[in-house]
Every structure is written in C-alpha cells, then in structure tokens.
Amino acid sequence: MTARTDSAGQPWWHGAAIYQIYPRSFQDSNGDGVGDLAGIAARLDHVAALGVDAIWISPFFTSPMRDFGYDVSDYCDVDPVFGTLADFDALIARAHELGLKVSIDQVYAHTSDLHPWFTQSRAGRNGPHADWYVWADPKADGTPPNNWQSVFGGPAWTWDARRGQYYMHTFLKEQPQLNVHNRDVQDALLGVARFWLDRGVDGFRLDALNHSMHDPRLRNNPPAPDTGRVRTRPFDFQIKRYSQSHPGVVAFIERIRALCDEYGAIHTVAEVGGDKAIAEMQAYTRGNRRLNSAYGFDLLYAPELTAEVAAAAMARWGDGKGWPSWAFENHDAPRAVSRWCRAEDMAPFARVKAALLASLRGNIIVYQGEELGLEQDDIPFELLKDPEAIANWPLTLSRDGARTPMPWQDEALGGFTSGEPWLPLSPANLARAVAAQEGQPRSLLHFTRAVLALRKGNAALRHGGLEHIAADGAVLSFERVWRGERIRCLFNLSGEANATPSLPGHEVLLAVNGADATTLPAWSALLARV
C-alpha cells in the first residue's frame, strides 16, 4: 500500500487525483456485456499509468438495478452481475500493489424496496425495523402527507396497504427513504462502513448525503421562483427546504468521521446538491471532526465553462473555506466536450480542460474515458436504460450517454466485451480508444498523463493555496501558492486568441495549444513559476 502521507507531509488524499470507475461500463471479463470487478482489476495498469492516486468505484452491491446499483438490497455483498466478494478482495489487492487507493460509494439516504430492512418495516407498525424508513399517515382525504416531489417525477410518497401509510422516496418508488434520524439506522450504516473498511477500502464517497435526513414535522416545501429555466420535473418547482438537508446530518457525519479515524487516513467526500449546496458542503467539512471533502455540482453541471463561471466557483472555496473535490464529468453528467464547445473544437478544448482540472485547488476527479476525450453518445429511446431519461423523455438528457462502455480497442466491441454490450459503443468514441491513442505521442491520453504528473510532482499545484483569481473576458487567471513557491495559471476558455500579461524570464511549466509568454491562442493555457 502507498504511504499515508506524501513528501510534503500531507495526507495521501490532500490534492489527490481520483479516477472514477463506473463498473457496468469499464471492462467485462465474462462476456455477458456488463462490466465487472474482475474486469476492473484487469485494467488497473491503465489507471495506474495515468498517474492518479486513487480510484472511486460506483456501486457494485447487491441490487435489483432499478437505478443501476444506487438501490441497494444488501450493503455487504457484491451483486452477481459484478462478481463476488473474493473478486472485490482481489481488486483491492491489485490496486494496492499498483500504489492506488480505493474509494467506494456508500448510499445512506435510501435502500432498495427489496432490502430486508424495508421488507420488515413495511410488514407492520410494530417490530424492530418499523421506524427505519420514513412513514406517514395520509391526509384526511387519502392524499400524501405533504407536497414533496421525487427527482424522477411525481410525489415523493407511495401508498403501502400493508401498513396503511405512505412511505417517502426522493428518487424512485423502489428506493424508500431511510429514517437516518433513528440512531439504530445510523448504527447499522456505520456497521456497513466498518465491513468495507475491514476489507481494506481507503475512502468513501457518500452519495446524496444531504438527502439522508428530512424535517420530522413534514412541512410543505415552498414553491421555487420561476427563473425562466425550462423545468422538466415537478421536483424543479420547489425549494427543497424541508424534504432534505436537516441540520441533524452534521452529527451523523461526525460519527462517520470518528469511525474512519479509527482506520487511519481514510478519505471521506460528500456528494451534495440542492439550493444551498455550497453552505452545506462547507458545513459538512468544517474542522477536524467532519468529512475531508465535498463533491458538488458548480462545474459538473455548469451549462458552459467560461472564465467568469470558473472564477466564481473557485472563489467560493477560497483558503479557509474547506477542501473541495472537483469534477467536470461523471456518470450522471453529460460529457464535458459535448456540453462546453463546438464539435470542431473538441480536441483543443479537451486539452485546456484537462490542464484546468489539474490546476484546481482541492481534489480532482477524472471520469473514465475523460482521458480519451469521449463525447456524449446519443442513445435512441428504445435502447435507453436510465429511468430518469425514460420518465422525462425527451427533455432530460440521458445519463446513459455518459455511461457507454470504455473503448479499449478501436474495433466493433471496443475490447470491452465479447458479448452484446449493455449500451452501444459509438464509432466516434471507438476512434478515441486507448489502443489508438497509445501509439500517438501527442494524443489526449499522453497529455493527460503529463498534466497529472505535473500536478503530482508540484506541491503548489497539489496542496497550495489560491490567490488572485480573475476573469478578464475569456481569460481565467489565478495563482497557486505553497511555502514560498508561486505558480501563475492562465487559461483562454474561448475559440479566439487573447493577449496576456508578459511573463518573460519565468519558468514555463506547461504550455497548451501554442500558448507563450505574450499570447494565449484559442483554447490554450500557460502555467509558469513566478
């Protein structure tokens, strides 16, 4: 295993580059068309060669897969489609051999409706699991207890005749909400965390953590103001004041941190979205008794990547405000090269985007295939698997388009499987396959390795503070500072050339797409020690 601290004396996770793996789509080892844990282990050489510090594996637990693993029916086992616990142990061992830490998702806001806890809870209003979920009586007219709406459309309440009550679900009706106010539920979830810590995991991403506690008084959410943005779901018409983000989440977080501290340098990162996401992320990570980092959506879901948008997002996490985790892509967000630039600009844009990610203060997360410049695939309705996209077709962009299989070879099945892949591989992304880029020294794959090596080898970029953030038209600039070292970072986030302040005589660490000391061409970047 790698050391708990690095040469700068910081914890291994501080400033780490983390590679997200979506197991269904990384590598299929048995020909059933679905990726698995053995496939991940077989491809870890590729991940290690990128120069990242850790991997984050999206859910692989036992599940009916109504929401592709985020509906857990057994927290302490592997779903057969992904393999076995022995496969997971082998994956951990291989990762540690390669110097990679391993983080996994933990889903504490809800379970599957097939989880034994829920089966017992819905059986009646008495018993040890009766109040492990959020149950409520109907109004006098039989309608749900309040106006809360689910993310996937319709009320956040489903009637259950066995109890004669409604149960809450923020997402699918097959994902009943856990009552994390209940201390016994917290103890059970901490037992799950301990199970995986004992198997050698090095960190947790805590999914939808601010959804884990609700207002016990079940007050109605107020309406959200109409901002002119297209609203495709009833969920978008409310301020989620009472259905999530109860202050009690913080005390539960402190229990999670205390458990992880028993195991040493375990990295904890919260996924937090919603109307007050920044304030909650900073509350969840404040001091030394809460989580290490928080993973938000400022840039992940930004409609465009401009200097102004990036500068504002970075400024919200200035020194002393916590340690963020940044991502431009993931399994829920469309591919950035398809969102943020024209098709003809994808190649240069992917390079400047990679350079910016590697320069940010905080941890950075690279989503599988981002190092290849994969674009968003257009999945026809008849092939969709994403329940949100199916429910809101055609106004919600399918998450499936960012979940298509990883192309290892530029051939029909991409080297991903010998069977029928669970989602199709597009010709455009097959042309960007790992094997195709390995033989091209100027490819995005090689460039990504270079910028990650620059970050890892430079304490100012990995651990440093953040100063002089500015957006001047299309040019984003800031400085990373660490123990007397100062690095000036300049990014032209447009398709037009821009003049820049002269930097003669300074050591250039990175010049992207033709940048130099006087000019930033279209989609370019310059990093220099000043």
Beta carbons of 215 and 243 less than 8 angstroms apart: yes
pLDDT at 2: 42
Read off the tokens for 132. 């492990």
pLDDT at 353: 98
DSSP assignment of 125-159:
SSSTTTTSB-EEPPPTTS--SS--B-TTSSBSEEE
Beta carbons of 170 and 156 less than 8 angstroms apart: yes
pLDDT at 265: 86
Peptide bond into 216 cis (omega under 30): no
Question: Which domains can be identified in the chain, with CATH numbers?
Answer: 17-111+182-455 (3.20.20.80), 465-529 (2.60.40.1180)
Q: Is residue 128 exposed (0-12), middle (13-18) or buried (19+ Cβ within 10 Å)?
A: exposed
Catalytic residue (one of 141, 198, 226, 262): 262
Helix axes 249-261, 277-284, angle to 10 degrees: 40
Question: Which alpha helices (H) appear in 290-424, and where do they start and end?
Answer: 307-315, 336-339, 346-359, 387-391
Looking at residue 398, its amino acid is S
DSSP assignment of 437-501:
HHT-TTSHHHHHHHHHHHHHT-HHHHH-EEEEEEEETTEEEEEEEETTEEEEEEEE-SSS-EE--
298 is catalytic: no
pTM value is 0.95
pLDDT at 3: 47
- What pairing do the DSSP bridges indicate for beta strands 507-512 and 485-492? unpaired
pLDDT at 433: 98
Alpha carbon distance 159, 142 (integer Å): 10
pLDDT at 1: 37
Read off the tokens for 299. 């840039």
pLDDT at 5: 66
CA distances from 312 to 272, 305, 307, 501 (A): 18, 11, 9, 21
pLDDT at 264: 92
pLDDT at 395: 65
Catalytic residue (one of 207, 271, 332, 388): 207
Gap between the terminal Cα atoms of the chain = 36
Alpha carbon distance 342, 141 (integer Å): 53
DSSP class of 25: G
Alpha carbon distance 210, 67 (integer Å): 19
207 is catalytic: yes
pLDDT by residue, tens only, the chain of 530 residues? 344 667 678 999 999 999 999 999 999 999 999 999 999 999 999 999 999 999 999 999 999 999 999 999 999 999 999 999 999 999 999 999 999 999 999 999 999 999 999 999 999 999 999 999 999 999 999 999 999 999 988 999 999 999 999 999 999 999 999 999 999 999 999 999 999 999 999 999 999 999 999 999 999 999 999 988 888 889 999 999 999 999 999 999 999 999 999 999 899 999 998 888 999 999 999 999 999 999 878 899 999 999 999 999 999 998 778 999 999 999 999 999 999 999 999 999 999 999 999 999 999 999 999 999 999 998 888 888 888 787 777 766 678 989 999 999 999 999 999 999 999 999 999 999 999 999 999 999 999 999 999 999 999 999 999 999 999 999 999 999 999 999 999 999 999 998 766 676 789 999 999 998 888 999 999 999 98
